[in-house]
Each structure stands twice: as C-alpha cells, then as structure tokens.
Amino acid sequence: MTLGLPLSATGWAQAPDRQALMDRILQSSLPADEPGAAVLVLEQGRVLLRQARGLADLESREPLRVEQLFRIGSMSKPFTALAVLQLMDQGKLNLQDTIGQHLPDYPAVGRDITLMQLLTHQAGLPDYTVLPSFRAQREAVPNTAALLAHFQGEPLAFVPGERFGYSNSHYVVLGAVIEKLSGLPYGRFMAQHCFSPLGMRDTGLEDPQVHAVVKGYGRRQGQRLQAPTPPSANTHAAGGLVSTIDDLARFAAAVDAGRLLKPQTWEIAFRAVPTRDGQPTRYGLGWQVQEFMGQPRVQHGGALAGFSSHLLRLPEQGIWVVVLMNDGPGRQPGPGYIAEQLAAVALGQAVDAPQAVVVDAAQLAAVVGVYGAEQSQRAEFRVVQGRLMVQVGSSRLPLEASGPLEFFARRSTLVRFRFERDESGKVSHVVLQRAGMPEDRLARSAPGGAAP
C-alpha cells in the first residue's frame, strides 16, 4: 500500500472539457495576487495547456509570463543522470564502476560506492545541504572539489546498496565524475551535450550574467519575502539548473523520440532499481518511478529557496506536465499536487477537491492509532503539533480535515481517509481512497498518541 495516487470514487468524474477544467485548477491553486507558476501540459506532443498565473514581482505587480526562467532545483537530477548515461553509451564508464575508479583522490570512506548506487540514492552519503559546514557557507564554493570537501570522509548513513536514502551529495559526486571524464565543467558539458542539441537555449547551470531568473519568494513569520539567491555552484549537479516550460517541452519531445540515448538506455533510466537484497524502491536513474491512476508514471520535483517545481510523465499516454513556481517549499497546494490534478484531467478525469474545516483536539485524538495488521498494509496516524499526520511505509503526509472523520492530503497528491466507528462509538477502521485502485479498509490494530 502506498500514498502515491490521488483519490478515486466520489471525488472523480469524467471530464467533459479538459481545457476548462485545467483553467479552473489553476485559478483555484494560483491566486493572481501571489507568486505563481508557469504550467505546461502536453499530450502526444500537442499542447493542452501553456499558461502562467500569479505575479513575477510582488512590488511592481508584474504578472508572470510563460517565457520566464525559473530555478528548478532537484529537477536537475534527471538531466545529470542523462549526462552520466550519455557517457555510458559512449563507453567511457560502466554503472558498476566505483567512485574511486574515476575520482582517485576520493577518501577511503565511500570510494567503493558504485555509480549505480549514486544514481539510485542507494549510496548512503550524508546530504551535504544539512551539514553544519555547508549551512554556514555564505558565498559560492570556488570549485567542485570544495563542494565535495563538505561531505567527503563523513560517516555513511548506511551500507551502500542496503536501502534507498535520498541525498543531494550523490548527484554532486556524479557531477564531479562528469567533469573528470569529459574534461569540461559540469555546466559546459550539459550545454554542449544535452541542451544545445535540443535547442534548449534558456536552460543551463545558472549564471547571473547570462540568466535573468524570475524573482522567487518565501515566507518568514507569515510575511512574504523575496528569497535569497543561492549560488548555483553550491547546488551544482544536484540542483543548480534553470529552465523554462518551453525548453522542457523540447526535452519532453526528445525523450518521446528517444533522442540523446540508446533506446535500451532510456528503458533502464525509467526502471525502478531494487536494493541489493531485492527490496523494491520507487527510484530509477534520476527519476521517481510510480503509478498514477493505474498507469506507469515517472517524475521528479525540485525545491530550493524561493522556487519549487515538478515534472511528470505518463509514458503510455504521451502526457507530460510541467509546473515551475516562483514560490518556495511549503507552498500549498504545491507543484506536485497541481501537476497530478492536471495529469488526471489530461487522462479524462477531474477532481472535486474537498474544503478544509477545523476540527478540535478531541476529534483528532479519536482517530490516532495504527491501522492494519500487516507491515505492507499499515497506516499510522499521529497528532504532531496539533495536526494529524499519516505514515504509510516511507511516505509521511500532513492531513487536513474535511469533516469530523474525514481527512485529505494536499502536499503532493490528493489522498483521502474516512474513519468509521463501531457499535460502541469508538473509531475502529479507516478507509483509504486512491484513484484507479480498490479502497483499502484497515482495522485499528493499536492505539496511537501525540508527538511533541
């Protein structure tokens, strides 16, 4: 059981007018007087939606335009993976090569990690973005070696290959390997071998002298503020790229046409890679691999100061959705949620999103607990700082109430939970609703509680 699908049943209906429904989603999700998004929906190469809503500049009230340039954060990772796979197709590396084979000065801790483990986030390197040495960094790092120095030699989070653990450090190392094998800086390699061949003229490693990026915004103590500009050297191959929705349309067309890589290489890029003991994951080579309404889906999101983004592909239908926001992490609804709503409409479905209501502490306490007896079919509900949270497997989502016993998630997918009472009036079951799948009805197996 996973949370990777939006609602089925009563919240969905056949969509008679996809364009009108997409417009309605954007109007309800992106207020005209706040930072907004540039959005693109493609189907078999045909544009279903190309629109910008919201403001590019809160002071001047300048509206966003579809041509504007956004920081895409971790949406850079599929492109870094593409570059690694190009080098593989050229015979310059093997995915089972180790870091030490290509970066001979890499410390003993981690030098036996394979490129495959880096690509699939199974390497165990600590995420440098949360390490004190990097968080104290106030200026751009001078070079890739200086960025590597923030985490080289740090203890591994787990034995490589043992499990999945997302870390930006993995893709910084891959960027260093690209530089070593090509003899080019990461940004120049990407421009020459990935972006220029596709006509992606506005996409690249951010250079303030070249790229006029739209202003990004965040919140501090409830106030809207322009976000600081992160030096692209500090995010590098893990998240330093900028792009536009039109350039990403060019990328989508290239992927659908099988350009830049051998056909079999594209296939492995979009295939989830299990751990070394065969445990399934939902990550391929630079792509999250899941299902959506019963259909295969690959995607990746991005988030950094002032910006958030999402790229979603439904390969069997030829559907792509791009959402680039000039608003930082925490914006609700976020780009992943918007992308999934638009993808559902593109598939011929429409969502009737619920309205949030306030419920008191006693109502929240009534539903906390563990539901489901099997580990693979278990959901735990807890109250954290006055808010109901659900954990299913590795997915943890904050919930909002639509009624005393009904809750939904807005973070990235629309998932609904309906609690049921037994004859004595106690909450005994929860029903999980997701699109394209039968409802899961789980019995309460243990009481729960509140976390500080």
Residue 5 is predicted with a pLDDT of 38
Helices 168-182 and 77-89: crossing angle in degrees, nearest 10, is: 40
Question: Which domains does the chain show, CATH number per domain?
Answer: 71-351 (3.40.710.10), 361-451 (2.40.128.50)
Question: What torsion do the CA atoms of 435, 355, 309, 200 make, to the nearest 10 degrees?
Answer: 80
Q: Which residues, in sequence order, are CB contacts of 140 under 8 Å at separation 6+?
A: 231, 232, 233, 234
> Rounded to two decimals, what is the model's pTM?
0.81
Q: Measured at the alpha carbon of residue 36, what is the angle toward residues 411 and 400, in degrees to the nearest 5?
A: 25
- Looking at residue 397, its pLDDT comes to 81
pLDDT tens track for 343-398: 999 998 766 667 789 999 999 999 999 998 765 568 899 999 899 999 876 567 88
pLDDT of residue 150: 93
Q: How many CA atoms lie within 13 A of 166 on its CB side?
A: 16
Give the pLDDT confidence of 412-435 residue by residue, as tens digits: 455 789 999 999 999 999 998 765
What is the predicted pLDDT for the residue at 350? 61
Ranges of the chain with pLDDT below 70? 1-16, 138, 350-353, 374-377, 393-395, 410-414, 434-438, 448-452
User: DSSP assignment of 20-36, as one string?
Assistant: HHHHHHHHHHS-TTSB-
Encoded tokens for 270: 């979009």
- pLDDT at position 301 is 94
Tokens of 162: 């043992």
Residue from 255, 241, 270, 413 nearest 319 by CA: 255
pLDDT at 450 (0 to 100): 46
Return the number of other C-beta atoms located less than 10 Å from residue 393's C-beta.
15
For every residue of 150-186, DSSP letters joined together read TTTTPPPSS-TTSS----HHHHHHHHHHHHHHHSS-H
Predicted local distance difference test score (pLDDT) of residue 76: 98
419: Cβ contacts below 8 Å, ≥ 6 apart: 366, 367, 405, 406, 407, 427, 429, 430, 431
